Amino acid sequence: MSKIIFVTGGARSGKSRFAEELAKKISDSVAYLATAEALDEEMKERISHHRERRSKNWKTIEEPIHVNLAVQNLNGSANVILLDCITLWISNLIHQNTDAAECRALDMLEAVFHKIRNSGQTLILISNEIGMGIISESPLNRQFADISGRVHQAISREADEVYFMVSGLPMKVKPC
């Protein structure tokens, strides 16, 4: 039976570690779909840290834009797909085409959800919760926050389980 799990929370709240542990409990057959791009030294270090922590048996796919095609191309070869990170993916979409980013994100997610629901696989999505701070003065930052918030709401509606991470502690917010 397919399942969609959404893990969200602040930066450095333990989201990835928690999601990785969930994936391990579900199956040894895991595909890690990474959206981050190593564009600077700090990001290279973060990516390296994540790689070292993951099981060596997991398949890693690096896809900054077309997550729907990456899921489709897996063709059921993994029982669990862990997609890390939605906010980085949204940022990539905005930088590629600011005006179409939200529609593209929602369309691609709809395709991913459809594929998962018809596959029997588990999808775990990880994202940063950015809607709890002040409203930015920057129009681009406001757009990013707005798109992220609406995409998170769409994911939460579709998800079977939603976890909010606080200081390494998961709070299950769906189902309540």
Active-site hit among 50, 95, 114, 152: 50
Which of 3, 5, 55, 2 lies closest to 161 in space, CA to CA?
5
152: annotated active-site residue: no
Total Cβ atoms within 10 A of residue 53:
10
DSSP assignment of 58-98, as one string? SEEEE-SS-HHHHHHHHTT--SEEEEE-HHHHHHHHHHH-G
Calculate the alpha carbon distances from 15 to 25, 71, 129 in Å. 16, 21, 10
Q: Which amino acid, 55?
A: S
At 171, which helix (H) or strand (E)? strand 169-174
Helix (H, G, I), strand (E, B) or coil at 163: strand
Whole-angstrom distance, CA of residue 86 vs CA of residue 155: 10
Total Cβ atoms within 10 A of residue 88:
18
> Catalytic amino acids?
50
